[in-house]
Structure 1
């Protein structure tokens, strides 16, 4: 007769909520929202279907957890970067640009997948709109802190956010160096100010890039 499952065996059989969300994330990225289903996820994770219900009431609860992860990571980190200390608007923009380089801060593929999901779900599209408004408001507040007028801050924030949304939607693929090389020029366009050589060097250094700049 088989013995009673130990605590460790039970943990393996049940998995964890985070493990299921990890699986849902991978499925969403690779196959879209229609690929996020309990049975295929259970098979991919080598877990039983019943173990899913230790953590989630139903598929809808899993999808809600997935969207929460997206909001916490992408929108949460973006807002935090706009609020990070900076001595100038150029430096503040470089703080924001950390999101476009560091996938630990902002997951572009996740953002694209959720936006594609929103094409088939009004509820998800509403969440996307709310997220975009939150991001835009955060960037606007950043511009306001550096003395821009209400109108200027709003227009510049919209340009920053919607340009990045377009970049994501267009599936732009390019090497890091030329992209980072254009960032000082982008900042001048967005802010009307030229980043200093020191600001450029600090930004490049924290992303492990050489100080060979043209400023």
Structure 2
């Protein structure tokens, strides 16, 4: 009999995040995730007390990888204009495949769910504040920096929706860098 790999809470959390990206919170179901991992529900209960605990772990993973880790990555760029460009490029998937936009869109229909709402609010606030600080560092007054952060964030969300609903209409592949440059030029124009 083959030896099965011992699953960790992280394995379950990653699988739940993938399910979330595919089908929203309804897809975070123990039995289908167990089947995708080649295990039983018993393994799940070894690591989590409930489906909600798994959903919370998946949301924390999404927040860490799609907000905290992305901010840490772009912070390595010392030039603010290039940092802003890097942030938009990463968010739109240029060169790095992140499931974040798919998760974000999948969560929109559940934005009022008691586990989802505070996470979306916290992440949105953090992202907008980070963007506003970037625009302020580029020399824009606080109110204008905030407005530009909203425009940048809605450009990201709009691109994600367009790429999801009508993939052929959204810039991708070799066209994406020129699109990112155009968006950055628009966002930083005086």
Q: Which band: TM-score by shorter chain? A: 0.7 to 0.9
**Alpha-carbon RMSD:** 2.5
Q: Is the 8 A contact 1:115 1:125 kept in 2?
A: no
Partner residue, 1:29: 21
Q: In 2 relative to 1, CA 34–153 (structure 1 residues): closer, same or farther, beyond 3 Å?
A: same
TM-score, normalised by the number of residues in structure 1: 0.74
Query: Alpha-carbon deviations, 1:4-30, whole Å to 9, x = none?
Result: xxxx95x63x52112212222232233
1:129 counterpart residue number: 121
Which has the higher Rg, Structure 1 or Structure 2?
Answer: 1
Corresponding position of 2:181: 184
**Structure with bigger RCO (C-alpha 8 Å, 6+ apart):** 2
Which residue number in structure 2 is paired with residue 93 of structure 1? 84
Structure 1 residue matching 2:83: 3-state secondary structure: helix
Q: Please report how far the alpha carbon of residue 81 of structure 1 lies from its aligned counterpart in structure 2 after TM superposition.
A: 4.6
How many Å separate the matches in 1 of 2:75 and 2:141?
Answer: 18
CA distance in structure 1 between the partners assigned to 2:64 and 2:34 by the alignment: 25
Residues 78 and 135 in structure 1, CA contact (< 8 A), matched pair in contact too:
no
Partners of 1:52 and 1:92 in 2: how far apart?
40
Q: Report the count of equivalent residues.
A: 183
Structure 2 distance, partners of 1:127, 1:180, is 30
Matched, 1:144 2:136: yes
Where does residue 79 of structure 1 map in the other structure?
71
In structure 1, runs of 5+ residues without a counterpart are 1-7, 194-215
Would you say 1:108 and 2:101 are equivalent positions? yes
Match of 1:57 in 2: 49
Q: TM-score, normalised to structure 2's length?
A: 0.82
What is the CA distance between 1:104 and its match in structure 2?
Answer: 4.8
Structure 2: any 5+ residue segments left out of the alignment? none
For residues 114 and 103 of structure 2, the distance between their equivalents in structure 1, rounded to whole angstroms, comes to: 18
